[in-house]
């Protein structure tokens, strides 16, 4: 059957519009709670939809809700300092919410053959941190600066610091890199309260738990006691984190 020319043009136009319109991706959501093996809720757990690169944190009751995830089987990671990270494959139905309960187990970092001598007064007043900050041997973030900015994540505190950059890793999580002569794949080493932290990223620790942060873009300036303790100095940089000390006054900017 032959169609009039004007009808053929109209049909062709409609077909071209249909081809140009992308298929709408149907999405769903995941809601749930995170608790420890004793059933206590865990706050500040970072919950990440890895492929969708979407991330939220659990609240004070361990509850979380992550929206706009493509409807499919999705890898969801759960991370929190002092707990073993977990990645679960969760089915996300279209236009619906999947309810889950997640249990994280405590994990302890052990340093074989290393004895750490505590100096209570130094730990309480952060004398070493303040001394290095005054000398300007690296770059520093104090508790006062964190409270003033009130960031959702610790990486937000580094976005305005010269010589640092925040990239998105393959797992969709933010990662710290130093720009001076290093590759974007060159990850810094992390030291938390004097102990080296493996498989750690800055956002594993909630801002509310941090007293101060030291940043060293290379091996120069890194406190020598950590080189002696761990036998290494990262050429990719070093990030030293001090957790909050109960009763400690807010540091000056």
Q: What is the pLDDT of residues 20-39, one digit of tens each?
A: 445 678 999 999 999 999 99
Mean pLDDT confidence for 153-161: 91
Domain made up of 27-103: CATH architecture: Sandwich (2.60)
User: Closest Cα partner for 79 from 175, 182, 184, 216?
Assistant: 175
Q: What is the pTM of this model?
A: 0.56
Q: For the chain, where do the domains classified as CATH 2.170.130.10 start and end?
A: 120-243
Fold of 120-243: Ferric Hydroxamate Uptake Protein; Chain A, domain 1 (2.170.130)
Q: What residues form DSSP beta bridges with 195? A: 192
Q: For the chain, where do the domains classified as CATH 2.60.40.1120 start and end?
A: 27-103
pLDDT for 164-205, tens place per residue? 989 887 667 788 998 875 566 788 888 888 777 777 788 888
Mean pLDDT confidence for 135-142: 88
Beta strands in the chain (DSSP E): 27-35, 46-49, 54-57, 63-70, 73-79, 86-91, 97-103, 139-142, 164-168, 174-178, 189-192, 195-197, 210-216, 238-243
């Amino acid at each position: 059957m032959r169609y009039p020319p004007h009808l053929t043009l109209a049909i062709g136009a409609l077909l071209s519009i249909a081809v140009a319109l992308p298929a709408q991706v149907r999405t769903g959501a995941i809601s749930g709670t995170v608790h420890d093996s004793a059933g206590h809720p865990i706050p500040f757990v970072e919950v990440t939809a890895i492929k969708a690169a979407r991330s939220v944190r659990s609240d004070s009751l361990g509850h979380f809700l992550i929206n706009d995830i493509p409807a499919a089987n999705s890898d969801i990671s759960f991370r929190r300092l002092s707990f073993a990270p977990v990645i679960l494959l969760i089915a996300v139905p279209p236009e619906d919410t999947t309810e889950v309960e997640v249990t994280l187990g405590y994990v302890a970092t052990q340093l074989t053959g290393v004895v750490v001598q505590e100096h209570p007064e130094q730990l309480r007043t952060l004398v070493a941190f303040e001394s290095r900050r005054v000398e300007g041997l690296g770059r520093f973030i104090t508790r006062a600066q964190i409270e003033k900015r009130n960031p959702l994540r610790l990486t937000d505190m580094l976005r305005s610091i010269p010589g640092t950059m925040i990239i998105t890793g393959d797992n969709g999580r933010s990662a710290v890199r130093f720009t001076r002569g290093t590759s974007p794949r060159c990850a810094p080493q992390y030291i938390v309260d004097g102990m080296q932290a493996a498989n750690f990223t800055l956002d594993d620790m909630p801002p509310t738990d941090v007293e101060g942060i030291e940043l060293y873009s290379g091996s120069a300036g890194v406190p020598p006691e950590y080189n002696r303790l761990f036998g290494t100095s990262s050429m990719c940089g070093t990030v030293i984190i001090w957790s909050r000390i109960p009763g400690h006054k807010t540091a000056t900017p």
